[in-house]
Amino acid sequence: MKFFREMEEMPPHKLALRLSYSAAVIFAVLMLAAAFIGRKILYDIPSIDKLDEYTPSLTTYVYDINEEVIAEFSIEKRALLTLAEIPVDLQNAVIAMEDRSFFRHWGVSPRGILRALLRDLLHTRKAQGGSTITQQLSRGIFLKPEKTVARKVREMVLALQIERNFSKQEILQMYLNQIYLGSGVYGVQSAAKLFFGKDVKELNLAECALLAGVIPSPGNFSPFSYPDRARVRRQLVLQSMRREGYITDKEMEEALAVPLPDSKSTLLSGRAPYFIEYVRQQLEPRYGVAQLWKGGLKIYTTLDLSMQAPAEEVMEKVLSKYDEDAARVRPPPDPAAEGEVSPSSAPLQGAFVILDVRTGAIKALIGGRNYRESQFNRATQAARQAGSTFKPFVWMAALMSGYTPASIVEDLPLAYYYDGKDWRLFEGATDQYSIDLAIQPFVGSKDFKIWVPNNFDGKFQGHITLRRALEQSRNLSSVSLVNRIGPSLVVDVAHKAGIDNRLDPVPSVGLGTSLVNPLEMTSAFATFGNGGIRVKPFGVLRVVDNRGKVLEEHVPSETESFSPQASYLLVNMMKGVVQRGTGIRASSLRRPVAAKTGTSQDSKDMWFIGMTPDLAAGAWMGYDDFTSLPVKDWSSSQAVAWWTEIMAEVLKDQPARDFPVPEGIVFATVDQENGRLALPGCKKRILEAFLKGTEPQEFCDIQH
């Protein structure tokens, strides 16, 4: 009260002076407070200079040989387009719905802000709405998605700066490339693929209106989750476009009649997952995680989905059937049987590979039955015994050592002992009785190990031709050959053909006891089919960055590992495996196929690898825990069966071609049993190939 009495008693000129002084103080305080608040809000506002260099997280796409998308690497599914690549209908739909005065305002819309503030006050909520396209762009790129007055102020300031530095067309282009449209998708290009399975430039009016309609709340307006809401939103967009004069009444009615998409496109879903992971493991170390997953690369691969898809389908069908058969015959567990390995209850696994013989391009690759359950790639990472599929390396070593397809080899009993340094053959032990006598002194000895190989049928054919021994997959003939030519040469041949794994130079190497994987085995066979020229398998043709620059392109690399003549002789013998031998089920393809079957020790692995002049394909099946396959009468012929079913689909439209005959090869009709020149009385005759000068000179002297 005293203050007011003093004011009343104070002379007018002093009162005016005091009031002006007080007003100045209050104004100064308010200005300081405003400056402090403004500084607090704007001190860390980002510079729009970075917008020139702004590169959002882009999706990297992986394509098959026909440039069909098979997978993507992405943190955020996104692609960058120029405004010219985006339909005008979509541009107009977004402007009509999100910012009708976009081309007239200078970054912010005062009317929109007042309208939003009024709505916020009536609903007692924090600042929301009223954002122009430019504000939405500044918020999406630079600011956190919080709803506060401070963020709103920053958003407006940034919008003003963006408008001052970029054209309206540049702003709209950036907005359409970065706007979030649900399901991890950013930008209209990726959204078009997700919603409609097509590029954005192919969208019609109805599709453009639907995309524009989901922008405010992609989750709530999704046509897949809430089709009724999405239909209403699309209608609102079309009505707004009509009011703005972008479309006619007829166009609006036609667009309203177009049905909504009812499911997400599979265009962005990954296929051939084991192959895709194989590609990722190769490229990620070269380009880094950031560029591969965020750089918007285009990766063009060798995979052919027309081969991959039937291979996956057939393999799963066959192995599922095997699981059913195995479950019926699997004995119940016996608690008393200690130390015995019980049959596996896990699903039977498989792997399948198709390679281009001439280039090494991977056309199909399956590393297992279910990638979600197991990412272990059995085509490239498995270490399994090859069994008899390893024998072609022995036969090639024999050809290089002077043998011919008509040479006679032994299919007789033999035995080895290990003296602590090396495996040695029991000389003269060529029948079961003499073998039993020879090994008797060493039975139970800790210093000497005994190995007595045998044929799968337990029988012996005596002396047979090199061809016949391969066609019938005679184990003892393979061991005998290894003993004569030396295991080191066999190992060297395998490495030259394409086996990268370590191989032990021991007598059993010819029976496939060393560990290999299906990809390298198939590649090694392809070397023989390619005339002895080794080409390393590869999956990536080229990599292109988001600006179209080619970062890498596959350069063919060839190594002449074997002569074309020796390779042809081996391939010609391997054709007999399909024509008369253990792979005869593949003869149903009715075309020249060179192949080899294989079953490892105790039936833990079953193989079949075959090739035409154009394609080499390898099939493997077995359990991950290395237990034996329990179903009786299942052998490598089962792998032949599903290999053949797959290749029948793969090769159905390809002409049947035979392997080309190189210079220096001659043919002679010989007796199948003894390899000598056949006479009219020889019932089993065959037209055999020889390196010129090595063909037999003697005629058959056996009375048939």
Enter the tokens of residue 232: 């209403």
- Single-letter code of the amino acid located at 384: R
Report strand pairing: 416-418 vs 615-622.
unpaired
SS3 675: coil
**Closest by CA position to 239, among listed 255, 216, 227, 226:** 255
SS3 475: helix
Could you give the C-alpha distances from 554 to 49, 269, 507, in angstroms and in order?
Answer: 39, 26, 39
| 217: CB partners within 8 A, 6+ apart | none
Other Cβ atoms within 10 Å of 440 Cβ, number: 9
User: What's the chain's length in residues?
Assistant: 704
CA atoms of 80 and 176, how far apart (whole Å): 9
Report strand pairing: 540-544 vs 550-553.
antiparallel
CA atoms of 606 and 637, how far apart (whole Å): 8
Give catalytic status of residue 473 as yes or no: no
Cβ-based burial of 258 (10 A; exposed 0-12, middle 13-18, buried ≥19): middle
In sign, the C-alpha dihedral spanning 226, 229, 231, 234 is negative
Active-site option among 98, 155, 207, 645: 98
Other Cβ atoms within 10 Å of 461 Cβ, number: 17
Active-site option among 74, 240, 388, 587: 388
Cross-strand bridge partners of residue 515: 385
- Count CA within 13 A, CB hemisphere, residue 154: 25
SS3 704: coil
Could you give the C-alpha distances from 662 to 159, 250, 289, 578, 592, in angstroms and in order?
Answer: 73, 71, 48, 22, 17
CA atoms of 66 and 698, how far apart (whole Å): 55
CA atoms of 416 and 414, how far apart (whole Å): 7
Give catalytic status of residue 388 as yes or no: yes
CA atoms of 522 and 616, how far apart (whole Å): 6
CA atoms of 310 and 306, how far apart (whole Å): 7
CA atoms of 533 and 422, how far apart (whole Å): 34
Residue 398 CA, chain-centre distance (Å), reads 38
Burial track 286-296 (b if 16+ CB lie within 10 A, e otherwise): ebeeebbbbbb
CA atoms of 218 and 261, how far apart (whole Å): 15
| 133: CB partners within 8 A, 6+ apart | 94, 95, 98, 99, 102, 171, 172, 175
Q: Are 63 and 300 in contact (CB under 8 A)?
A: yes
Enter the tokens of residue 479: 């061991």
Q: What φ, ψ does residue 396 adopt, rounded to 5°? A: -65, -40
Report strand pairing: 349-356 vs 69-73.
unpaired
Report strand pairing: 423-425 vs 462-465.
unpaired
**Closest by CA position to 393, among listed 487, 519, 484, 504:** 487
CA atoms of 321 and 214, how far apart (whole Å): 46
Residues carrying an active site annotation: 98, 388
